[in-house]
Amino acid sequence: MKEPITISITGAAGHIGYALLFRIASGSVFGADQPVNLRLIEIEPALPALHGVVMELDDCAFPLLREVVATADLDEGFAGANWALLVGSVPRKAGMERSDLLGINGRIFTGQGQAIAKNAAKNIRVLVVGNPCNTNALIAKNNAAGVPSDRFFAMTRLDENRAKSQLAFKAGVHASDVTNLCIWGNHSSTQYPDFTNAKINGKPATDVISDHDWLKGEFISTVQQRGAAIIKARGASSAASAANAAIDTVKSLIQPTADGDWFSVAVCSDGSYGIEKGLIASMPIRTKSDGSWEVVQGVPVDDFSREKIDASVAELIEERDAVKDLIPS
Ligand SMILES: NC(=O)C1=CN([C@@H]2O[C@H](COP(=O)(O)OP(=O)(O)OC[C@H]3O[C@@H](n4cnc5c(N)ncnc54)[C@H](O)[C@@H]3O)[C@@H](O)[C@H]2O)C=CC1
Ligand SMILES: O=C([O-])CC(=O)C(=O)O
């Protein structure tokens, strides 16, 4: 039996938390031979609800689940963490942009970044889900002195999965037939789902789908606005699909990427593709056989794509400038 790994999850009593914890505890994320410890972090008022969730975890009698800690104390919550899934934060309501949450949520990620730096394991990896996730990840990264920048990620996988499903519906194929789908930029309504490099059963999506007006118009706006459409329909923001995307992200970061493919996650830019260094921006990523990741280089960026990527990166710069006081110089 392997040594247990420790996963810290904030917002564990929330909607996404409820859809996430049980899949991690069951072994469907880190593997059927990998025991896990869960350190579940909530704000004080949500601790009673969190205790109910812990009772349910107990009642599953998961063979791989070892220690479960429920706490509002960040030092205790991130102690020895190998992975930190930062979900805890307020979701937006109908009519809001995700960036409207910066003032409410941004501050959460200063203390969490500091606590991660102080308490987590040396190999910590941090996935930020709470919105606006790119800039919250930027805040966490910049407050986590000593933790390398390549350990911080923000989630754009839900957007990738949404884009794959939309292309698959249009082409009359299954979503798993769609590969090489990159979301560029911010997890926001400026994000760019790049159909120009996507493939459907190995062929360019632009050859398989002849309706290029749809690709350039309705496809992009459907993906950009999908979160808002779910809030309108459900009266609450995506939770099960978001938890599923968080799981897909972690799995993609721990398993080698299929040859020639890539996946989407926002990482700390090294300046690739002209994206300002230091921003947390989504781009094409692959995981190598040694478990490290790299930005896939040489993905063609035409004039149409360039304009879209630049618009989303400009928004990331605006968000960063708006939270200057949360980022130590
Ligand atoms: N990146 C993405 O693709 C997506 C991101 N989201 C975002 O995920 C976040 C969580 O969504 P839901 O689970 O639906 O919301 P929710 O309101 O159901 O749960 C959030 C939980 O976070 C907790 N929380 C608040 N502040 C906290 C703090 N400082 N420390 C620890 N926990 C704290 C709350 O008590 C609550 O239990 C929202 O910001 C939402 O916008 C949602 C869907 C997709
Ligand atoms: O739209 C929202 O506020 C929640 C979210 O991030 C998504 O569903 O992509």
Considering the chain, what is the average pLDDT of its residues?
Answer: 97
Using DSSP bridges, classify how beta strands 192-194 and 65-71 pair: parallel, antiparallel or unpaired: unpaired
Q: What is the mean pLDDT of residues 228-244?
A: 97
CB of 130 sitting under 6 A from ligand 2: no
**Cα of 33 to ligand 1 centre, how many Å?**
30
**Would you say 12 is a known binding-site residue?**
yes
SS3 (DSSP) at 161 = helix
User: For position 114, what pLDDT does the model report?
Assistant: 98
Tens-place pLDDT, residues 165-197: 999 999 999 999 999 999 999 999 999 999 999
For 58-116, write each residue's pLDDT tens digit. 999 999 999 999 999 999 999 999 999 999 999 999 999 999 999 999 999 999 999 99
- Adjacent-strand bridge partners of 241: none
Q: Which ligand is nearest to the CA of 45?
A: 1
pTM equals 0.98
What pLDDT shows up at residue 329? 83
- Cβ–ligand 2 distance for 156 under 6 Å, the answer no
- pLDDT category of residue 311 using cuts at 50, 70 and 90: very high
Going from the Cα of 237 to the center of ligand 1, the distance in angstroms, rounded, reads 10
User: Which residue of 10, 73, 87 sits with most ligand 1 atoms within 8 Å of its CB, as the best mutation to test the pocket?
Assistant: 87
Q: What is the ipTM of this complex?
A: 0.99
Whether 134 lines ligand 2, by a CB cut-off of 6 Å, is no
Q: What is the pLDDT of residue 172?
A: 98
Q: Which of these is catalytic: 51, 174, 187, 212?
A: 187
Residue with the nearest Cα to atom 2 of ligand 2? 227
Spatial distance between the Cα atoms of 311 and 99, rounded to a whole number of angstroms: 15
The string of pLDDT tens digits covering residues 268-281 is 999 999 999 999 99
Averaged over 118-147, what is the pLDDT? 98
265 pLDDT exceeds 90? Answer: yes
- Atom from ligand 2 closest to the CA of residue 241: 8
Tell me the two tokens of residue 33: 């031979």
Instruction: Give the closest residue (by CA) to ligand 2 atom 7.
Output: 227
Q: What is the largest CA-CA distance in the chain?
A: 55
% of the chain residues with pLDDT over 70: 100
Tokens for 11, please give them: 């917002």
- Is the pLDDT score of 1 beyond 90? no
What's the token pair of residue 298?
A: 């040489």
How confident is the model at residue 189, as a pLDDT? 97
Nearest CA to ligand 2 atom 1: 227
Residue 138: predicted pLDDT: 98
